[in-house]
Structure 1
Amino acid sequence: MNGTSRADIKKGLSVSIVLKQDQRSGRLTDGTVKDILTNSSNHPHGIKVRLESGAVGRVKVIHE
């Protein structure tokens, strides 16, 4: 699972996201999903979420 499908992402899930300022470098930030911000069912760059820490970015990795 790579985070492009909204159905794969639930609140409380452990994920790695890429922040807006880190898109060029690809640096990932780990955290727990607090809110799902993307309304569409799929997004080619990843579903946008807010983490418990308040960081907002697109999901790149879903941790099992």
Structure 2
Amino acid sequence: MGGTQRKDIRPGVRVKVVQKPHQRTGELTEGVVKDILTNSAVHHRGIKVRLEGGIVGRVQEILG
């Protein structure tokens, strides 16, 4: 499942995100959503979130 719609993402959900420095390589980081940073309902590159470890990135995949 993709991470382009805000309604699909909630705090506590496990996701894979791409961090800004890794956008070219596509390296994904797995974690649990702490905060949702994107205000719009849809974002074509992925909803921006902060993970529990403090990492900020755009959701590429929702794991459940």
* TM-score tier (shorter): over 0.9
User: Counterparts of 1:3 and 1:61 in 2: how far apart (Å)?
Assistant: 6
Q: State the partner residue of 1:10.
A: 10
Displaced runs of 4+ in structure 1, greater than 2 A? none
The one-letter code matched in structure 1 to 2:49 is V
Shift of 1:53: 0.4
What residue in structure 1 maps to residue 63 of structure 2? 63
Question: What is the aligned residue count?
Answer: 64
Normalising by the residue count of structure 2, what TM-score does the alignment of the two structures yield? 0.98
Gaps in structure 2 of 5+ consecutive residues: none
The correspondence of residues 1-64 of structure 1 with structure 2, limited to 5 A, is: 1-64=1-64
* Structure 1 gap segments, 5+ residues each: none
Deviations 1:5-28 (A, max 9, x none): 000000000000000000000000
Aligned equivalents of 1:39, 1:26: Cα separation in 2 = 24
- Aligned-pair identity in percent equals 59
TM-score by length of 1: 0.98
Q: How big is the alpha-carbon RMSD for the aligned residues of Structure 1 and Structure 2?
A: 0.4
Letter in 1 for 2:28: L
